[in-house]
Structure 1
Amino acid sequence: MKPLRTAIIGTGHLGRIHARLAAEAPHIDLVAIVDVVKEARERVAEETKTRAVADYRELFGEIEAAIVATPTVYHYQVVKDLLEAGIHVLVEKPITTTIDEADELCEIAKQKNLKLQVGHVERFNPGFECVADQLTDIRYLQGTRASGFTFRSTDIGVVMDLMIHDIDIVLSLIKSRVVDVRAFGVAVMGDQEDIAQATIHFANGAIAQLTASRVNYQPARSMQVFTASSFANIDFATRGATTIHPDPRLFTGEFDLASLKPDEVTHYRDHLFETLLVKEQHEPEQTNAIAEEHRDFAEAIRTGREVRVTGKAGRNALAVAEQVLHSIDKHQWDASPLGRRGAMLTPAVPLRRVG
């Protein structure tokens, strides 16, 4: 496969990771590093042995693709300019700041027959990939994503920063319409929510409960999935998974707990996860998720197939994230409608001094 002539736009934390991996990838020809900050672009360009460029528009006609890792507020304009210039785009999540912006970018990509991929990188996590095909007919899902405060991505809250990863995973698994979202959040470090919890109801009856925190003293990235016939625990941090497949007799009613003899009780108690709830540990090959994301992007462009995480998928994750944020803003913390609400616990009625 001919290497894809690509530029990295943005040299923040993720931009530097993208640049390093792109420089090592056989399917990518890293043409340039782009950033408005001279020292930043030159430093990363030197590290990756390519050239530094101040304005991505200088590269029109020279590159086939771009990886956009700028702050979210700049995604829309940068991606729009690239698409209109005929350049395929992989843009970090969230795709844009508004649904209207995301819809417009998806339409431009469609009209110009270009690939628009969104950086929901957990779709490429080996722990998720090794069990995703088994997770059908989902009834209940619980996800937890927590980290310490990194002092990065402070332009967005924890919903757009972390929870949106799990929202994308949930939507990719539960292919049903969202009918209700209930959420609350708390701001700790600044003007954005740093802790959030959301319950999402789907038209098919499935329920997802997601918790995210970026002020946690103990990191966690896991998801528990209950289907109609099995259970899976996905550990995104260790990039592994555990599944449990119940004995069919438990579903048909053939297993009579009350009629068990003492020796049978002892046997099943000591061997529960070998007999009745059969556990399997999955330890997939430990690939780099961002590198696999790059490979998927390049292969989709060269072969014409669809990317794994499309612009539409990114747009849908953004839409649900916005519903979560709306619910957080409306959440009342007191018994009175005149009490406090939202992540900042803001009084519904401005406080006035007396006297």
Structure 2
Amino acid sequence: MATVETAKVPVAVHAGGDERRAKAMEEHRRLSVGQIIGEVLKQLDADRFIIKSSNGPRYIVGCRSRLDKTKLVQGTRVALDMTTLTIMRRLPREVDPLVHNMSMEDPGDVSFEGIGGLSDQIRELREVIELPLLNPELFARVGVRAPKGVLLYGPPGTGKTLLARAVAATLDINFLKVVSSAIVDKYIGESARIIREMFAYARDHSPCIIFMDEIDAIGGRRFSEGNSSDREVQRTLMELLNQMDGFDELGQVKLIMATNRPDTLDPALLRPGRLDRKIEIPLPNDQGRLDILKIHSTTLSREGDLDLDAIVKLSDGFNGADLRNVCTEAGMFAIREERDHVVQEDLMKAVRKLGEAKKLETKLEYDKV
């Protein structure tokens, strides 16, 4: 009897191994064959779902036992077996290429220490964006709702985009940079769809910062008159307003908007609850210009000391970008003289040259928003 039993044991084990191997091969065959993309419409019971395939028809199908069925909610994209239409796996949300390109934007190695003359503005911006993301319990303890977004406005070249990049780089979280004019599409409804997908992507990848530059391209004041393109921009604005304070809370998604023309923005966009704080980024004063020059002149190869105070006196009305250009032009003067270092005279020539060019620029007056 013992001989018979010992002969049976290896046979049973061998048969079980063949069965598992066959199941594994069948599973591999199913996963290696092309699959159909579908969308879950409704769950009927514990094992059956109504799905809509990419071809159009709707089916009642089953699901792989290994899948977490609690995640197969309405709207979930799934992969279906070619023959049985069984749900094989859950797929990530479909992302528009334009939204994907927004997420690829790298804020770069920017820090607040590299931004001069804006200490008060930096403090206000960090209170609205950084504090709710890092310490949300502070707002719950006080009993107030955390701000959703901030508007940065002021003349060109004063550092609005640089501030947004510094916030994203400091927090090291997901960052979507949106050029608002690129959202507007010639086809009706496409611009609003991109706005919806952008906010859906940000919610799925929270915490996330959405930076919308040149917001006046889609956030302009609405009028009763206008052509079809104006109405498309208005539809885009209404979708943006809905996403900012609709039924779906933004949660760990924060908005930073920037513009040179705050006077053209729609009042509905500016109201508290959507943009809770408006921060003016003005032209730097004397101390601010000195701080900016110190930052940009640290990389210059120099001979002797540079009198930056003299440059500050000649640079009234210059913005941060102009002051950086002063250092660049000084380097160009040094190269023209076949030198490998910058001297004081190079900076003086550069600031005078840019001062003449600044006379041709149009000045805008900014009222408090």
TM range (shorter): under 0.3
| Structure with max Cα Rg | 2
Higher strand share: 1
Q: Which has the higher contact order (CA 8 A, sep 6+)?
A: 1
Q: Give the structure-2-normalised TM-score.
A: 0.25
Higher helix share: 2
Q: Give the structure-1-normalised TM-score.
A: 0.26
